[in-house]
Amino acid sequence: MTDPPIPIEVTINGRRHGDHVPARLLLSDFLRHRVGLTGTHVGCEHGVCGACTVRVDGRPARACLMLAVQADGADVQTVEGLAAANAGELTELQRALHEHHGLQCGFCTPGILIAATDLLERRPDPSRAEIEQLLSGHICRCTGYAPIVEAIEQAAAQRTERAR
């Protein structure tokens, strides 16, 4: 039993996208193949690697563990939306990852950027343990994680500094 394609309307990085999608289409595939936003990477497709993490209505979500129809009416932010929401400039966190060599191949980076951006908004001064726990949900095979932890700590410190 399958239904005809279902009409959806999703706001992605501030732009509205209307489409008709099969019920089983994953949000990750919708973003990449229908909308063309290939910054959201697909690694394991079962929620473990974290590469496809986006924000849906302001909360982090594995795009591979959501159906596109579930995002109907929602506000989705992908990695492309980070700089776009920052007047086209890289965010502090993006710059910090660059400075600390927090990426090599970059496959895991979009998911880490989204999750860490979310963490820093909720916990302006996260402990090292909190950062490490966050990264337990994101598999990186290049860096050994230490430079990513340092980058997130630097971005947190810059944020705190600015808030003073």
Residue showing tokens 């924000």: 55
Among 11, 38, 43, 45, interactor with other proteins by CB under 8 A: 45
Q: Where do the H-state alpha helices sit in 20-142?
A: 27-29, 80-84, 92-99, 109-122, 128-135
- Alpha-carbon gap, residue 16 to 98, rounded angstroms: 31
Number of C-beta neighbours around residue 20 at 10 A: 10
- Specify the stretch interacting with other proteins by CB under 8 A; choose among 76-84, 96-104, 131-139, 153-161: 131-139
Task: Report yes or no: 27 and 67 within 8 Å, Cβ to Cβ.
Answer: yes
CB of 106 to other proteins, least distance (A): 19
Among 12, 29, 100, 148, interactor with other proteins by CB under 8 A: 29
Task: Report yes or no: 27 and 54 within 8 Å, Cβ to Cβ.
Answer: yes
Task: Of 97, 61, 67, 80, give the one whose Cα is nearest residue 15.
Answer: 80
> Is 106 near other proteins (CB under 8 A)?
no
Q: What is the CA radius of gyration of the chain?
A: 16
CB of 102 to other proteins, least distance (A): 17
Using a 10 angstrom Cβ sphere, with 0-12 exposed, 13-18 middle and 19 or more buried, the burial of residue 8 is buried
Among 96, 108, 113, 115, interactor with other proteins by CB under 8 A: 115
Among 34, 38, 83, 137, interactor with other proteins by CB under 8 A: 137
> Is 164 near other proteins (CB under 8 A)?
no
Nearer to other proteins, 15 or 24 (CB): 24
> Is 104 near other proteins (CB under 8 A)?
no
> Is 11 near other proteins (CB under 8 A)?
no
Could you list the residues that contact other proteins (CB under 8 A)?
A: 1-3, 6, 22-24, 26, 29, 45-47, 50, 53, 59-62, 64-67, 69-70, 111, 115, 118-119, 132-134, 136-138
